Amino acid sequence: MSIVRKISIKGFKSILAQDIELGQLNVFIGTNGAGKSNLLEAISMVSASIEGGIDYQRLSRRGSRLSSPEIFRSSFKNKKRKNTLSINISTDEIEYSMSINAVKGFSYNAESLKDVKSNYKMCGRSNKGATVYGKSLSNPLDREKSIIPVFRSFESNINDLDIIENYAIYSPSSPILRGVSSDNSNKSPLGLYGGRLAESLAEVLSIKDKRRNLQGFFKLLEWFKLVGTDNHSKSELISEHVSLRRKIVTFKDNYMKTNFNDLYAYDVSEGALFILFTIVLLSHDDSPDFFALDNVDSTLNPGLIRKLMLHIVDFLSQNSKKQILLTTHNPTTLDAIDLFNDQHRLFVVDRDIDNDNMGQTKIERIQPPAGMSKADWREKYFDMRLSEIWLSGAIGGLTTRF
């Protein structure tokens, strides 16, 4: 199954120039403001473009911040500021690139879609015009619209375009997961912020094979006996001071009295809701094959984030078509990563302190030295967990600014 292999970004927010080669599991760790979210949002720019063009409605549906177009262009001391930004994304099958003018809106300077294996340019545009399969289009393209929908009217069966188009950044919110705030994203299946958690959970529970995936929830949180959904049938659990949505997640607690052990989402820990959100997102048939989960350590203690990451790793090992980008500030997130598995990629995201590149986002992959075996690694680091090695500063990425 094809996955996204490489993303190249120039002139986008804090990222002046970066090439990132991805695996199936990609973890980005760094300080607040280092540029982790900027990377995720650069991919959402490409995703919106493949849908038809870059505008705020499409960016919002993918979880991007809706900044002024001026903010999208890099600005650094001693560097000439350009009017354009460019992003290139490659899968096993296709390579798509775009150059965007981001002054008073978004418009296209150039686009290109190539077949990776043959390097054949299937469609493209420049100031000289637009072509599809080598033939010039008779009508000029709107500069604010992508060429991809035109290309798809000729060739609709390119699965990798769908994979990128369906990309989204998920950032579950505690009030929304609890059912007391609304989620206006309408992103299938859960909403970007968790607004459809109850409905999606009900859909997963209705399918026997998918229902088994929820066993991971009870392994992570053993004090829960059952999880399900309800339409407020238990009036004794509803406070008159809280307004809940029509359908809500329900739990049975292992340690409460059997005649009163029901809880609604409003009363359980936010960590339990975050874990349930993640497991349902992984399990649901309508979830994107390629997505990001921003701040995967949100609301979780170190032990739980380590367990959740092990669950994610196990899920990905059984689902080769899924590809995930995770951002984190918590080193224990790293303990499930196998640096000797090429599908696991760990990246340090930081701001460059070099005088020539001051302030630019720097994204570097952490890898074992060439020729080092896993046994050698364990011996060198005394069988320490990756989080412990990280905190020691022995593998880079840990600076005095952490």
Q: What is the pLDDT of residues 292-326, one digit of tens each?
A: 999 998 888 888 999 999 999 999 999 999 999 99
Integer Cα distance of 180 and 303 in angstroms = 28
Integer Cα distance of 149 and 52 in angstroms = 6
All residue ranges of the chain with pLDDT < 70 are 1, 232-246, 396-402
Single out the residue of 280, 275, 283, 281 nearest to residue 318, CA to CA: 283
Select from 3.40.50.300, 3.40.50.20, 3.40.50.720, 3.30.930.10 the CATH code of 1-168+288-370: 3.40.50.300
Rg, C-alpha atoms of the chain: 23
Q: 107-115 and 169-170 as β-strands: parallel, antiparallel, unpaired?
A: unpaired
Q: What is the pLDDT of residue 56?
A: 93
Number of H helices, E strands in the chain: 13, 17
Answer whether 0.85 is exceeded by the pTM.
yes
Tens of pLDDT, residue by residue over 43-91, are 999 999 999 999 999 999 999 998 888 999 998 988 889 999 999 999 9
Query: In this structure, what is the dihedral angle of CA atoms 270, 273, 275, 280, given to the nearest 10 degrees?
Result: -160
CA angle 370, 375, 377 (to 5 degrees): 55
Residue range(s) in the chain whose domain bears CATH number 3.40.50.300: 1-168+288-370
- 321 in helix, strand or coil? coil
Q: What is the pLDDT of residue 29?
A: 94
Dump the DSSP string for 11-29. EETTEEEEEEE--SEEEEE
**Phi and psi dihedrals of 201, rounded to 5?**
-60, -45
